[in-house]
Structure 1
Amino acid sequence: MSSENFVSNSLSRKQFQNILELFQDSDRKLGDDRNQIKIVQFEGRKLVVKSFKIPNAINRIVYRFFRKSKAERSYLNALYLKSRNLGTPEPLAYLEEIGPARFHQSYYVSEFVEHDFTFRELAADDTIKNKKEILKAFTQFIYQLHEANVYFLDNSPGNTLILISGNEYKFYLVDLNRMKFYDIPVKDRLKNFERLSPQKWMFDIMGAEYARLSQLDPEETINTMWNHVQAFQDHFQNKKKWKKRLKKIS
């Protein structure tokens, strides 16, 4: 017999159930992810609902007894970011469906943040203006994240929303379930940029700005960042090659 663990800072259990019903009916999907992410309209608010994929057999036991679920971590990490004035959509609630010996499924609900583009579009879209200024502002945001002892493991191009507000740029992190919290050394800080882009010019800007903020040598900072990027790209490309070979064999 299964039970539910429901935690919320603003929604009742009945409201959450109504949101889940809207989620099932919604065809407004966000991204192409192994988890289901959809936008729903509820009581005049635009919300994002994330339904996490049911874990494999081993992780169903791990999440039941030994580790927080992805939904719970998303919620708690968002609260941590908000408490330190770091941009992320407002967390509203999460729900876990659990059995006596197994974890089943989990959901996370947050506010939808209106934004102009993501970091991925910033890298790919040549029509976006003031890229240098945006990259410098983004670097300042990541520096503030690191100063708050937050290492964002999924610091990839689709996980930062960017809003242009007058002459300012605002950044919001999403997909928050994988974070570490510790006093981050410089080598880890510079490695944290490795997933963002394979374009060198972007790291010339971000590396120089991070060096300025951290009082580091600019050339050494840029080179270190770029070495991490190249190592990540090599690993990523090799992984793709092995997947293609395995598909051919199977």
Structure 2
Amino acid sequence: MQNLHLNNKFEHLKTEILDCITHFNTKGNYVTKGDRNVIKSFKVGTETLNIKSFKTPKLINSFVYKHIRKSKAKRSFEYAEKLISQSILTPFPVGYLENSSTTGLTSSYYISKHVDYDFDFRVLIHNPLLDNRDEILIQFTQFAYKLHENNINFLDHSPGNTLIIENVAKYDFYLIDLNRMQFEQMDLTKRMDNLKRLWLSKKMIRIIATEYANISEYPFEEVYRLLMQSSQDFKRRINRKKYLKRKYLKKKK
């Protein structure tokens, strides 16, 4: 059983989009090739579309995604529409496709318009001498504050999931990898916890905390303390996992 849902503006490309998905393994150009998910770009008419293929779910998840919970592809599409309705940038959602059997979901794909971006947030981490780095961080903080004020808790707020486009004295921020979000009011603790995955340096934390306090009613000392605490706790947890994994692999040899 196949369920294809397309934005009305792209209904005329239905046949071509289906062909791209049918021949996903042999056509298209890789954008990312991960262990779990694969993204490829395809030229469809005058458009360049990115198609994300989600990993085939295990038996229990397969049943859940068909009968209980929305698939990752459908969530990505609906969340993208919601972001756009609140003037939050994300690659335009074209549609999604779900394949299922009698037992559950077998595969799913999310389709969006390709975005030519200049760099992603990871560059700010790895290149502290980047031109206008402080200004980019200030504008990113304004973007993050807008998310929080719109009750958008982006659970995958990691460095690779914010694309950045440079305009004249202004930067546009696009969110990607959208299937994990909660729409809820957030207190300051939850807001700062939302930024912990960005792997921020102490200098970056100070810049972000200063701007967040400037544009909100929250005092700088509290913003800084909570962001520093969340960020350091997250780093310690990830580094400990890596250490234990290395230790385990060394034991196995």
Q: TM-score, normalised by structure 1?
A: 0.94
Q: What is the CA distance between 1:33 and its match in structure 2?
A: 4.8
Change (3 A) 1:126 1:183: closer
Shift of 1:30: 2.2
Is the 1:22–1:40 Cα contact (8 Å) retained in structure 2? no
Provide the C-alpha distance between the structure 1 equivalents of 2:55 and 2:158, rounded to a whole number of angstroms: 20
Match of 1:180 in 2: 182
Worse-matched range after superposition: 41-50 or 118-127: 118-127
Given that 1:30 and 1:39 are in contact with CA atoms closer than 8 Å, whether structure 2 keeps it comes out as no
* Paired amino acid for 1:62: V
Structure 2: which amino acid aligns with 1:11? F
Give the alignment partner of residue 6 of structure 1, picking from 4, 7, 13. 4
Q: 1:126 to 1:211 in 2, by over 3 A?
A: closer
Cα deviation, 1:16-38, whole Å, max 9, x if unaligned, reads 21232564312433264520111
Match of 1:86 in 2: 88
Give the superposed CA RMSD. 1.6
* Counterpart residue number, 1:17: 18
What amino acid is aligned across from residue 6 of structure 1 in structure 2?
Answer: L
Instruction: Tell me the distance in 2 between the aligned counterparts of 1:6 and 1:31.
Output: 23
C-alpha separation in 1, matches of 2:103 and 2:250: 38
Aligned length: 248
Give the aligned partner of residue 236 of structure 2. Answer: 234
* Structure 1 equivalent of residue 69 of structure 2: 67
Q: Which amino acid aligns with 2:20?
A: I
Q: Percent of pairs identical after alignment? A: 39
**Cα offsets for 1:199-249 (capped at 9, x unmatched):** 111110011111112221112211210110010011101111232334345
- Please state whether the residue corresponding to 2:196 is helix, strand or coil: coil
CA–CA distance in structure 2, aligned partners of residues 80 and 65 of structure 1 = 23
> What secondary structure sits across from 1:204 in the alignment?
helix
Q: Which runs of 5+ in 2 are unaligned?
A: none
Aligned residue runs from structure 1 range 89-108, under 5 A: 89-108=91-110
In structure 2, relative to structure 1, the CA distance for the partners of 1:208 and 1:50 (3 Å cut) is same
Aligned residue in 2 for 1:56: 58
AA at the equivalent of 1:7 = H
Change (3 A) 1:47 1:33: farther
Amino acid at match of 2:220: P
The amino acid across from 2:144 in the alignment is I
TM-score calculated relative to the size of structure 2 = 0.93
Contact in 1 for aligned 2:188/2:223 (Cα 8 Å): no
Q: Which runs of 5+ in 1 are unaligned?
A: none
